[in-house]
Every structure is written in C-alpha cells, then in structure tokens.
C-alpha cells in the first residue's frame, strides 16, 4: 500500500464490497452493493420502497450478516463474533423509522440508559451521560412522562437519544422525518445536522428529493438491491436516466432552473441552485 492509498483509506470509514443478502425465504434484498462511506459526511440513501435500503442499514451494523461480499469498518473486515459485533454496534447506531419498534421501556430515562449500560459503563458515569443527552436533545420537558404518552416528535427525540448516548461514530437514520409534522421534521433535521457538525458520520434514508438536494454531501441511489449511482446532489439530479430508473422526481428548484435555462433567462455556467433563495438570487442578477 503506498502512502496515497493509506491516506485515501483513512477517509473511508465504511466500505462495502459486493455485499449480498438473501433472506431465508429466498428474497434477494442486496445483490452486490459497492459503497464507500466517507468519515464525517452526510450521505442520503434514496430509492423506491423495497429497493433494499433498510436491509442495507442492518447489514452495516451487523444485524444482517452478508451472505456474500465484505463490509469493512475503518479498513478492517467486520468480525461477526459476539465481541466483534458489540464493538461494531457501539460505533454504528441505527435510529429506526418507527419509534414504537425501538422504545421498549415506558420510562424515558430507562430507555436512554439501555445502550450505554450495555457498553459496560459504571452506573454513575452512565447516569451522567444520560443526563447530558437528555439536556442536549431538549428532552427535559417530557422526561418524566411515560413513553406511551409522548407525541411522535418526542418519541423520535428519545429514539435519537437512545443512540447518541452510546457515542457512535456513525448514525444511520431510517426515514427520520416519516410521519412527523413539518415543525417536528425540521426539529429532527436540525438535530441531525448538529450531530454531523460534531463529526458524526450521518447516513439518512429518505424519499424527499428537495431535502436531499439541500442537505446531502452525497446521494446513493438504490434500486433492486444494488447501488445504481453515487455522487453529489448536483451529479445525481442531473442524471435523468437514473432518476427515471429509481422513480425519483427532480427537485422542484432544479425543474424551475431547467425551464429558466431553456427560456434563456439564465445558463448553466454559474452554480446550480439548491434552494428557493438560490433561484431568487439568480433571477435578481
């Protein structure tokens, strides 16, 4: 390995090489996934329902052991022994789509403390960590309520706290804004951004093209168990062919931008707009 390769490898926190996964009933959910996930990036995984996004997430933290191919974490193939899996799951947290499938306790404190105690941390230290996360995620106002009386957005925050308390390097969010109203969706998005600013690598599965365009560093498009395309939002959303294959609409801003270009009002020489404000600037020029 030459120096350049070592340096490159250091940027890649997770690497998937031809990962396949077949369920017991014969369903091939993953058919050779190749993907490099870079340290500290914001990666959006998009694709139709049933394209394998959820299975991919569970393959990343070792819940689904690939039936073929390799997952490398920090350059080392994942060790599927009991100890190896515990180490992996400490570093890679998953926030599931439906909090009711994740929150097992009626008490917010109990719920959040579960993961951190599983790491074998002494109680006093664990309590301090739980308190810190409760404060960071603004859970204090409803911390004494039982989980079954929490709203969707509140449950989601507890679900994120569950994972954050374990201090992982990567957090996977399975459709974090699903079933939330716009205000709470925004709140969760802000939390995700804050986590990323702290240096946590964030992988989000979503169907929201407008959001992905603004938010993601890179987008991975999945279809029928393979990654069809990976690239920056600009690259992905200018490729009409893969968009059609994965049934994705172009983001509204880009559609308008295309129309403006065709009408000769602006051209593609400047930067590509991501938000409505970007479009406004272009038009005012």
- Based on the shown chain and the rule CB under 8 A, indicate whether residue 102 belongs to the binding site for another protein: yes
Q: Which residue has the tokens 């959820």?
A: 54
CB of 242 to another protein, least distance (A): 30
Q: Which stretch binds another protein (CB under 8 A): 35-43, 81-89, 184-192, 265-273?
A: 81-89
Q: Which of 8, 27, 63, 135 touches another protein (CB under 8 A)? A: 63
Q: Which of 14, 16, 45, 111 touches another protein (CB under 8 A)? A: 111
- Based on the shown chain and the rule CB under 8 A, indicate whether residue 58 belongs to the binding site for another protein: yes
Of 2 and 101, which has the nearer Cβ to another protein? 101
In the numeric block, which tokens belong to residue 67?
């039936």
Exposed / middle / buried, residue 263 (Cβ in 10 Å: 0-12, 13-18, 19+): exposed
Total residues found in the chain within this entry: 285
Of 36 and 174, which has the nearer Cβ to another protein? 174
Inter-residue contact 181 to 153 (CB < 8 Å): yes
Q: Which of 93, 176, 225, 251 touches another protein (CB under 8 A)? A: 93
In the numeric block, which tokens belong to residue 84?
């190896």
- Based on the shown chain and the rule CB under 8 A, indicate whether residue 79 belongs to the binding site for another protein: no
Kindly identify the residues of this chain, within the stretch 141-200, that bind another protein according to CB under 8 A: 144-149, 162-163, 166
- Based on the shown chain and the rule CB under 8 A, indicate whether residue 139 belongs to the binding site for another protein: no
- Based on the shown chain and the rule CB under 8 A, indicate whether residue 100 belongs to the binding site for another protein: yes
Binding-site ranges for another protein (CB under 8 A): 58, 61, 63, 82, 86, 89-90, 93-94, 96, 98, 100-107, 109-111, 113-115, 117-119, 123, 126-127, 130, 144-149, 162-163, 166
């Amino acid at each position: 390995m030459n120096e350049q390769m070592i340096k490159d490898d250091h940027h890649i926190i997770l690497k998937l090489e031809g990962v396949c996964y077949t369920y017991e009933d014969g369903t091939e959910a993953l058919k050779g996934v190749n993907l490099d996930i870079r340290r500290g990036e914001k990666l959006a995984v998009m694709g139709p329902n049933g394209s394998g996004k959820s299975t991919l997430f569970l393959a990343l933290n070792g819940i689904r052991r690939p039936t073929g191919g390799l997952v490398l974490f920090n350059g080392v193939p994942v060790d599927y022994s009991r100890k190896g899996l515990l180490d992996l799951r400490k570093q890679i947290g998953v926030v599931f789509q439906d909090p009711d499938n994740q929150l097992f306790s009626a008490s917010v404190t109990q719920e959040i403390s579960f993961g951190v105690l599983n790491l074998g941390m002494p109680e006093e230290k664990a309590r301090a960590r739980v308190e810190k996360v409760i404060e960071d995620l603004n859970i204090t106002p409803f911390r004494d309520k039982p989980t079954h009386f929490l709203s969707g957005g509140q449950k989601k925050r507890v679900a994120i706290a569950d994972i954050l308390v374990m201090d992982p390097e990567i957090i996977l969010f399975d459709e974090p804004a699903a079933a939330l109203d716009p205000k709470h969706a925004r709140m969760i998005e802000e939390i995700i951004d804050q986590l990323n600013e702290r240096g946590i690598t964030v992988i989000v599965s979503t169907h929201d093209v407008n959001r992905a365009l603004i938010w993601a560093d890179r987008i991975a498009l999945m279809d029928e168990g393979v990654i069809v395309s990976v690239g920056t939002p600009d690259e992905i959303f200018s490729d009409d062919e893969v968009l059609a294959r994965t049934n994705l609409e172009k983001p509204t801003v880009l559609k308008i931008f295309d129309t403006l270009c065709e009408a000769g009002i602006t051209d593609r020489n400047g930067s590509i707009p991501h938000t409505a404000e970007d479009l406004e600037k272009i038009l005012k020029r």
